[in-house]
Amino acid sequence: MRALIQRVKQGKITLTDGTISGQINRGLLVFLGIQPDDKEEDILYLVHKIVQLRVFDDEAGVMNKSVTDIQGDLLVVSQFTLHASTKKGNRPSYIRAAKPEIAIPLYGRFIQGLKDQGLPVETGQFGAMMQVDLINDGPVTIWMDSKNREY
C-alpha cells in the first residue's frame, strides 16, 4: 500500500459532473494506491504513521505537530497510478495495482481507520475521474510504502 501525502491549506475533489465529492481546509491530502497483496497490517501501519506524521509547524516554526495535534482534516483519494511501472517503454503498466474487488474494501477500511482516530475525513469517489484542487502548504510532500516500513 502506497500513500503520497501532501500538507495542504485546502483541498477539494470535484467529479466530472461538477459534484464536489470531498473538501477540506488545513490538513493532509492522501493519495492511496493499493496492491493485490495488501492486508490489514498495511492499513494499520499507514494509518498510524499518517496521523502521527509531524509535518505541521509548532509555535517556534519547526515541523513538530501532527494532523491530530492541529485537529486538521484529511482528504483521501484512491490512486492506482501510484503503482505504475515505467520499466519498459513509455506507456506505464498498472499491473501491480489491485483490482477493484480487492481495492475497494481495503480503501474503505483505510478510511474507517482514519475516522477511528477521531479526525474528519473526506474522500474522492473510488474509480471515478476526478479533478483534485489543492493549495499545497510548504510545499510538503511525503511518500510512504507499507512494504518498506520505516519506524
CATH class held by domain 2-145:
alpha beta
Give tens-digit pLDDT for 39-95.
999 999 999 999 999 999 999 999 999 999 999 999 999 999 898 888 888 888 888
Rounded Cα distance between 19 and 46, Å, is 29
Residue 59 DSSP SS3: coil
Residue 101 DSSP SS3: helix
> Among residues of the chain, what percentage have pLDDT more than 70?
99
Least confident of 90-99, 105-114, 116-125: 90-99
> Among residues of the chain, what percentage have pLDDT more than 90?
85
Rounded Cα distance between 67 and 34, Å, is 23
Residues annotated as part of the active site = 81
Name the pTM for this structure. 0.93
Write the CB contacts of 99 (distance below 8 Å, at least 6 apart in sequence). 36
Could you tell me the CA-to-CA distances from 100 to 24, 79, 88, 107, 128 in Å, in that order? 26, 12, 25, 10, 12
The C-alpha cell that represents 129 in the structure block? 475521474
Give tens-digit pLDDT for 3-13.
999 999 999 99
Rounded Cα distance between 84 and 4, Å, is 13
